[in-house]
């Protein structure tokens, strides 16, 4: 890690926005994820947005959780979707993304979230307790992506929600995402 180390994770602040935007643009092939983050900041509440920074204060990672709906119900803190998440390419594969996921799930738990969903890599998210959503009768709004769709129950109340079609905020409907 070139002598630097992640000193902490913390809630994103407005002064972090340029760094977070740059990280998403560097980590992904297009600027779509950066645009999603910016739009969510302006259009959605509640949000859980966390950054990872090096001991010298440089922001090198970001994760965001925003409300999702299950069969059009929810849209608040009880059901959250993890996305997007990015780590500066120079600092990838060093545990920063894992730390962001762990800290984000802890923040969701503290906020009273019942279920957290993620559309992501099948080899990555199960390490954090995510299970295939279809095993719990949850389906992504685009069922072709169900093999990449996971859920984690983060509270006892979440166990009582037993099925449904899950949709992220309409911001994620940008072409190409």
Give the integer Cα–Cα distance in Å for 49 and 20. Answer: 10
List for the chain the helix, strand, coil content (%; round to 5): 40, 30, 30
Give the integer Cα–Cα distance in Å for 151 and 166. Answer: 10
């997007």: which residue's tokens? 84
User: Tokens standing for 117?
Assistant: 């969903």
Q: Which fold has domain 6-173?
A: Aminopeptidase (3.40.630)
pLDDT for 167 equals 94
What are 128-150's pLDDT values in tens digits? 999 999 999 999 999 999 999 99
Q: Return phi, psi of residue 5, to 5°.
A: -140, 155
- Prediction pTM value: 0.92
* Percent of the chain at pLDDT exceeding 90: 81
**For residue 1, pLDDT beyond 50:** no
- Which residues have CB under 8 Å from 22's CB, separation 6+? none
Report yes or no: 60 and 88 within 8 Å, Cβ to Cβ.
yes
pLDDT for 173 equals 83
What are 32-42's pLDDT values in tens digits? 999 999 999 99
Give the integer Cα–Cα distance in Å for 123 and 49. Answer: 23
Report yes or no: 27 and 166 within 8 Å, Cβ to Cβ.
no
Report yes or no: 63 and 10 within 8 Å, Cβ to Cβ.
no
What are 62-92's pLDDT values in tens digits? 999 999 999 988 889 999 999 999 999 999 9
**How is residue 112 annotated by DSSP?**
T
Please give the mean pLDDT across all residues of the chain. Answer: 91
Which residue ranges make up each domain of the chain? 6-173
């Amino acid at each position: 890690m070139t002598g630097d180390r992640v000193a902490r994770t913390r809630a994103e602040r407005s002064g972090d926005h340029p760094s977070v935007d740059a990280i998403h643009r560097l980590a992904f092939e297009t600027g779509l994820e950066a645009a999603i983050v910016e739009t969510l900041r302006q259009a959605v509440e509640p949000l859980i947005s966390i950054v990872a920074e090096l001991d010298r204060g440089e922001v090198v990672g970001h994760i965001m959780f925003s409300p999702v709906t299950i069969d059009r119900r929810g849209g608040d803190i009880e059901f959250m979707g993890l996305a997007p998440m990015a780590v500066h390419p120079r600092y990838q594969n060093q545990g920063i993304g894992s730390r962001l996921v762990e800290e984000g799930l802890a923040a969701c738990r503290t906020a009273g979230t019942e279920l957290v969903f993620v559309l992501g890599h099948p080899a990555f998210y199960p390490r954090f307790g995510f299970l295939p959503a279809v095993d719990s009768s949850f389906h992504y709004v685009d069922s072709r992506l169900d093999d990449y769709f996971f859920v984690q129950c983060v509270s006892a109340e979440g166990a009582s929600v037993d099925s449904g079609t899950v949709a992220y905020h309409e911001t994620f409907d940008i072409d190409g995402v």
